[in-house]
Amino acid sequence: MPIPAEKADSRLMRQMFGVIAPRYDFITRVFSYGMDRRWKRQGVEKALMPDKPVVLDLACGTGDFSKLVAERFPEALTIAAMALPFADQAFDCVFIGYGLRNFPRLDNAVAEIERVTRPGGLLVSLDFFLPRNPLLRQIYLGYLFMNGVFWGTILHGRPRIYTYIPDSLRSFVSIDDFSSLLRRNGYGRVDARGFLFGGIALHWAAKE
């Protein structure tokens, strides 16, 4: 399935996020029925890390994961990043919230995250996914599309700005497919917890 233009062109992606940045937190709360913050906190609380972890918050948005890590580990070294100009095995944990869908090649992104993660370290991800049930999948994509049109028009006068979410999701994967991809890329223990009938999920993946 063709990927959205923004996903294929980093310039368009930056432009889009430049527009939505002031409303980013509001929209993540709306699309998650207000549960987004709780899910992120759960992601951090369940992540087993050393006392003074070195943490990467990748594609960090407004830095929710970084803030939660700082609450739990005041002495943690947390780096927020959109790219990976880092040495091999540099981090105890990599967090990524709603970012994996935006990489044009998911397998390459996972391989690069695995490269900068130390043995025994974690990848913790929160993202949208395609429900496995075909009927639920169509209902969910329709729900996201209609919400995107509504909020894009109300907040920006641009319906397309948030319909990118379902568009990016159509070329993405299910929760189970992503878990399998992680296992194929060096993560021996993968735990997933789905929400909204499989439309959003947390993953905790430990590198072998």
Task: Name which of 71, 66, 67, 136 is nearest 94 in CA terms.
Answer: 66
CATH number of 5-131+173-207: 3.40.50.150
2, burial (CB in 10 Å: exposed 0-12, middle 13-18, buried 19+): exposed
Other CB atoms within 10 A of residue 38 CB:
11
Task: Report d(CA 146, CA 206) in Å as an integer.
Answer: 36
Task: Return the higher-pLDDT residue of 173 and 60.
Answer: 173
83, burial (CB in 10 Å: exposed 0-12, middle 13-18, buried 19+): exposed
Mean pLDDT of the chain: 90
Task: Return the higher-pLDDT residue of 25 and 144.
Answer: 144
Please report the pLDDT score of residue 7 as a whole number.
75
pLDDT at 24 over 90: no
> Mean pLDDT, to the nearest integer, of 89-93?
95
pLDDT at 70 over 70: yes
Please report the pLDDT score of residue 82 as a whole number.
61
pLDDT at 12 over 80: no
What would the two tokens of residue 208 be? 């072998």
> Mean pLDDT, to the nearest integer, of 123-135?
95
Extents of the domains making up the chain: 5-131+173-207
Least reliable range by pLDDT among 90-94, 154-158, 190-194: 154-158
Q: Are 114 and 207 in contact (CB under 8 A)?
A: yes
What type of residue is 149? V
Give CA separation, 157 vs 19, 23, 148, in Å: 11, 13, 11
Q: Are 130 and 169 in contact (CB under 8 A)?
A: yes
Contacts of residue 15, Cβ cutoff 8 Å, sequence gap at least 6: none
Please report the pLDDT score of residue 14 as a whole number.
77
Please report the pLDDT score of residue 83 as a whole number.
62
pLDDT at 38 over 80: yes
Tell me the three-class secondary structure of the chain, residue by residue: CCCCHHHHCHHHHHHHHHHHHHHHHHHHHHHCCCCHHHHHHHHHHCCCCCCCCEEEEECCCCCHHHHHHHHHCCCCEEEEECCCCCCCCCEEEEEEECCHHHCCCHHHHHHHHHHCEEEEEEEEEEEECCCCCHHHHHHHHHHHHHHHHHHHHHHHCCCHHHHHHHHHHHCCCCHHHHHHHHHHCCEEEEEEEEEHHHCEEEEEEEEC
